[in-house]
Structure 1
């Protein structure tokens, strides 16, 4: 007969104190033995757990002594980021292995585990916690605490000192290296920019030497010079026409003179000079309406007028101006006209040579303007590139100066820096384990397991032990109740079975603990992890 045969699904749950009490009496040992054994084991474990000491130091993040608006540092990483980077470098496996061997840490674990696993376990004993302050919606790190947990208080302090020294030196070294690398990089870029500027300067100098006088910046000057040359050419042509007209008039006058003449030579020569002087004065009046007093033609006419006036002053005056025409054909008048014609011919030749020179200059300036049009676009592009290169070079020079000042700031430790405000101290007592909590937790677990084993044995047993249960099953009360009769053999067998069960449970527990300790993870590490998890959960709940 099984328990499922007598199970009555229609019966509600009824609590019978007497039945519970009888069950407790029957299964008492199934409650007591696990509870006592596990409680004892919990007490032994709480007593045997190795102590863990913790040594901590606090490092303050000080702000720069020099205001950033005067000299700004080139190290712009956040403090939290640098703290994490330094921590990662410290907990590198090679560094931890060196510390383990140097200070003879974890000797028991090193005897059982590879050194890399011991370093991994040490990594969990190193703690770094940030102290942050809120500002508006954001927050910034003002300080941080570093510490180390170990079974020996003195060695915990030594490793904590190593960790603090590592943070202080590594932060200063890292900042100085970054600032110096930035300055070196900017120097290299500045050197490249300077070489580029010199290259462009040489190219521009070559173009300027090859196209001298035809450069785009000389276009306005060349155009102004061309306009001036055209005006000069126009004036020369006008002057040349005036001289040719004057020569034509003198030739006609010379041809009209008789071949011989006599008497009153001086008076006729004075009349001729007076007529020439009058004509030159009329020419000057006509030229003064077009040119200024400093124009070469005006100056030439003034010089000729002065010469004629001097010659006229030396000659005897003509007695009658109306009679001067009678002596024009004299030999002296013909000689004077021929002399004037000779001077006009020389002046015409000089004027023609001046016109040829001006025309040559005009042609040269026009050639320069044509060459300017050919090289203008390429030359302007080269000049723009040169100006941009110079501007970039000047910007880089300013940045190099700022980077060098920032590197000097880091070298003298006047920028943001780590300062030790609380050095690690030798712990006065162990931080963990919390032995009362471990013992109390073990006792609670032991009581729970004892109760669970008692209930499990009761539910597994399918025998009918009460008249009420029988009456519930068959629907008729029993006529007679016969008490249970237990023989000595049955009692001995019962105790034997109980002893075997207890021994099996203890052996199973011991074998499980041994397997976990040797094959999975040492029990002290496992208990430390469990304790940390419990403390973190309790801290998260606010207890």
Structure 2
């Protein structure tokens, strides 16, 4: 069971020191609360607007990510130091280093983002300073930097995208021209064996094969006629007048002579038409004479037989020459047809690459057109942008510090130190001061307890100590705090410095 009277006596005995701690901390907190300079907070609200022309998938993006990037660019060392120097945030006589100024600017700056699904994306930019005009000026400078950064980012991104697709279109155009040149060169080198004219060559091959077969049949027939003519001449000594077939040139000559006979009945000898027909007849006669075989080539003693055999031999020679030409063309066609399959595969590969390049080129051209539209939209400020809903104004009322909270914190700290002092002294004291402690520690039950009888000298020392503690609490401690405040450093600055060093503020 707790002995309340005992602990009450201990409390009364240690009360001066506890009161001193409470008074010191309370005075410290009250002084800090009174002396702490007022701070003013200014803020501006920004809104991310949707594009005015194109939808968000064309010119927009992740608004939260965009605001996060802008925030990181805003809070860079160069920007914060430039703003601090431009607006003289820390005064001209400030002894803070550049790093300390940077940390202070970041600590006094607050940026909050809000948004979500089916909700507008907002940004709240705030700054706290002891000077309300500086607080408003810094926030407005932040707003200007944010708007400028957003414009530069979006326009720069659109310009970079446009430049990239321009280079891509140019590169793919060169690749496409090179591929077309390779296809054209391949077709030029293999013009006779391309798959696109395979059907024509196959038809030509069939036609030539029929002509060769027909010429072979004609040669065989001419050979049979010649042999029959020679046989009849040897048996009878006569030559049939119609034994030798007429060549096409002879047939043409006969037709021209017939036409001349018909024309002479109408026109005179000096008529242009008659002269033209006689010229054509003369040319045809020279051709027929050139086809005739000389008499000594196969002289049989019969001029008519020799003429007929000469005509037959001339016809056979002509057919044989045509057959050789046809055979050569057939061989060429066969080679080109056999090479068509390999050429078709190679040409298909070239055309497939050309189609792939063409598809990429078409996609790049479409993307380039879209990039041009986006670039025009961004440069005309018609795309997604950040606008100022409410600019920062000079605050008329301070936003801090919370003086009541500081004073209560000082009192709470004093009470905590006083309670800690009481508990610590109790834990460090190992002397036996009550019968109950003797029973609990040594299992001894005392018969009687003789209290400590205080002598006169002890009473005087105790009273002097109590008086000194009271004087210290009432006079010495306040005087010491006043001396520190006036001679060394103001208590509010000292407290702030201590809290900062301890990492509590």
Shorter chain as normaliser: what TM range? 0.7 to 0.9
Decide which of 30, 55, 58 is 1:72's aligned counterpart.
58
Task: Indicate conservation of the 8 Å contact 1:128/1:147, yes or no.
Answer: yes
Say whether 1:94 aligns with 2:78. Answer: yes
Say whether 1:114 aligns with 2:91. Answer: no
Instruction: Tell me the CA shift for residue 20 of structure 1.
Output: 4.1
Query: More displaced, 244-253 or 223-232?
Result: 244-253
Name the structure 1 match of 2:269: none
Closer, same or farther in 2 for the Cα pair 1:455/1:62, shift >3 Å? same
Name the structure 1 match of 2:294: none
Name the structure 2 match of 1:189: 168
Q: Which runs of 5+ in 2 are unaligned?
A: 259-301
Name the structure 2 match of 1:239: 218
Give the alignment's TM-score, normalised by structure 1: 0.70
Task: Indicate conservation of the 8 Å contact 1:130/1:141, yes or no.
Answer: no
Say whether 1:424 aligns with 2:392. Answer: yes
Q: State how far apart, in whole Å, the 1-side matches of 2:501 and 2:453 are.
A: 54
Say whether 1:103 aligns with 2:91. Answer: no
Say whether 1:203 aligns with 2:143. Answer: no
Q: State how far apart, in whole Å, the 1-side matches of 2:112 and 2:84 are.
A: 23
Task: Indicate conservation of the 8 Å contact 2:51/2:385, yes or no.
Answer: yes
Name the structure 2 match of 1:249: 228
Instruction: Tell me the CA shift for residue 252 of structure 1.
Output: 3.6
Say whether 1:352 aligns with 2:329. Answer: no
Closer, same or farther in 2 for the Cα pair 1:459/1:352, shift >3 Å? closer
Closer, same or farther in 2 for the Cα pair 1:488/1:237, shift >3 Å? same
Decide which of 220, 223, 230 is 2:209's aligned counterpart.
230
Name the structure 2 match of 1:320: none
Closer, same or farther in 2 for the Cα pair 1:37/1:218, shift >3 Å? same
Q: State how far apart, in whole Å, the 2-side matches of 1:481 and 1:493 are.
A: 19
Name the structure 1 match of 2:2: 14
Task: Indicate conservation of the 8 Å contact 1:190/1:397, yes or no.
Answer: yes
Q: Trace 1:395-410 onto structure 2 (pairs within 5 A).
A: 395-410=363-378
Task: Indicate conservation of the 8 Å contact 1:470/1:478, yes or no.
Answer: no
Deviations along 1:413-444, one digit per CA (max 9) or x if unpaired, are 33222121121222221222111111122222
Say whether 1:475 aligns with 2:446. Answer: yes
Q: Trace 1:429-448 onto structure 2 (pairs within 5 A).
A: 429-448=397-416
Decide which of 449, 459, 464 is 1:492's aligned counterpart.
464
Instruction: Tell me the CA shift for residue 210 of structure 1.
Output: 2.9
Say whether 1:42 aligns with 2:29. Answer: yes
**What's the RMSD between the two structures over aligned residues?**
4.3
Decide which of 27, 30, 35 is 2:17's aligned counterpart.
30
Task: Indicate conservation of the 8 Å contact 1:470/1:477, yes or no.
Answer: no
Deviations along 1:15-70, one digit per CA (max 9) or x if unpaired, are 33x4344334333322322212211111111112222221111111122223539x
Q: Trace 1:50-69 onto structure 2 (pairs within 5 A).
A: 50-68=37-55
Task: Indicate conservation of the 8 Å contact 1:23/1:458, yes or no.
Answer: no
Q: State how far apart, in whole Å, the 1-side matches of 2:435 and 2:328 are.
A: 147
Secondary structure in structure 2 of the residue aligned to 1:419:
strand
Secondary structure in structure 1 of the residue aligned to 2:116:
strand
Q: State how far apart, in whole Å, the 1-side matches of 2:446 and 2:98 are.
A: 73
Q: State how far apart, in whole Å, the 2-side matches of 1:431 and 1:64 are.
A: 37
Task: Indicate conservation of the 8 Å contact 1:59/1:144, yes or no.
Answer: yes
Secondary structure in structure 1 of the residue aligned to 2:200:
helix
Name the structure 2 match of 1:179: 158
Name the structure 1 match of 2:381: 413
Closer, same or farther in 2 for the Cα pair 1:111/1:25, shift >3 Å? same
Say whether 1:128 aligns with 2:111. Answer: yes
Task: Indicate conservation of the 8 Å contact 1:80/1:141, yes or no.
Answer: no
Deviations along 1:117-164, one digit per CA (max 9) or x if unpaired, are 2112211222111112246xxxx7622211212121111111111111
Give the alignment's TM-score, normalised by structure 2: 0.75
Closer, same or farther in 2 for the Cα pair 1:68/1:244, shift >3 Å? farther
Instruction: Tell me the CA shift for residue 174 of structure 1.
Output: 0.4
Instruction: Tell me the CA shift for residue 370 of structure 1.
Output: 5.3
Say whether 1:522 aligns with 2:497. Answer: yes
Deviations along 1:283-325, one digit per CA (max 9) or x if unpaired, are xxxxxxxxxxxxxx9x979x79x98xx9xxxxxxxxxxxxxxx
